[in-house]
Amino acid sequence: MPLWTLRGLRRGIVTTRYPARPDPSAALLPTPPVFRPDVLTPGLADRLVAVCPSRALARDGDLLVFDVGACTACGRCRAEAPHAAGDSGEFELAATVREHLVKQIPLGGRSA
C-alpha cells in the first residue's frame, strides 16, 4: 500500500481502470461448462445431473437447469458427454441477483 499511495500521489492517479488489458493467464482457468441444446436429450440430461457432484444441474421437464453459482467447474459433465458439453471460457461471473446465475437450457435433442 505505501508504494502505491506515494506513486498515486505523485502522478495524481487515485485508482486505475480494470482490466487495462486482457490477462494472458485467464485462458488457463477452469470455467463452467456450456451445453449444446440440440444434442441434449432428457436421458442424457439425467446422466449429467447424476454425475454432477455439487448439485449444479437439475432437470425440470424439457429444461436442463444449470446453476452457475453452484458449479465447481470440475469437468465431470464434459467427461461424461464431450459432444454435448464444452468449456465456456467465462470466469468473470459475479452477479448482483442470485437468480441471474440460474440458467435454463432447453433439451432439443431427439431421444434415441
Partner 1 sequence: MMSQDATGPAIQETSEELQRTVTRMFGRSLHIRTLDTGSCASCEQEIRLLAAPHYDLHRLGFFFTPAPRHADLLMVTGPMVQVFETAARKTYDAIPDPKIVVATGACALGGVYQPDPFTRGGIGSSFPVDVWIPGCPPSPLALLQGLLVAVGRLADKVKDLDFALNGTPT
Extract the C-alpha cell encoding 42. Answer: 432428457
Q: Does 45 bind partner 1 (CB under 8 A)?
A: no
Report in angstroms how near the CB of residue 94 gets to partner 1 at its nearest. Answer: 4
By the 8 A CB rule, do 62 and 106 touch? yes
What is the CA angle 33-36-38, rounded to 5?
165
Query: Rule CB under 8 A: is residue 12 a binding residue for partner 1?
Result: no
Q: State in angstroms the smallest separation of the CB of 46 from partner 1.
A: 18
Q: How many Å apart are CA 50 and CA 77, to the nearest integer?
A: 9
Cα dihedral 81, 85, 101, 109 sign: negative
Is the separation of the CB atoms in 106 and 35 below 8 Å? no
Does position 38 bind partner 1 by CB under 8 A? Answer: yes
29 interacts with partner 1 by CB under 8 A? yes
Q: Find the shortest distance in angstroms from Cβ 50 to partner 1.
A: 16
Say how many residues touch partner 1, by CB under 8 A: 52
* CB-nearer residue toward partner 1: 20 or 112: 20
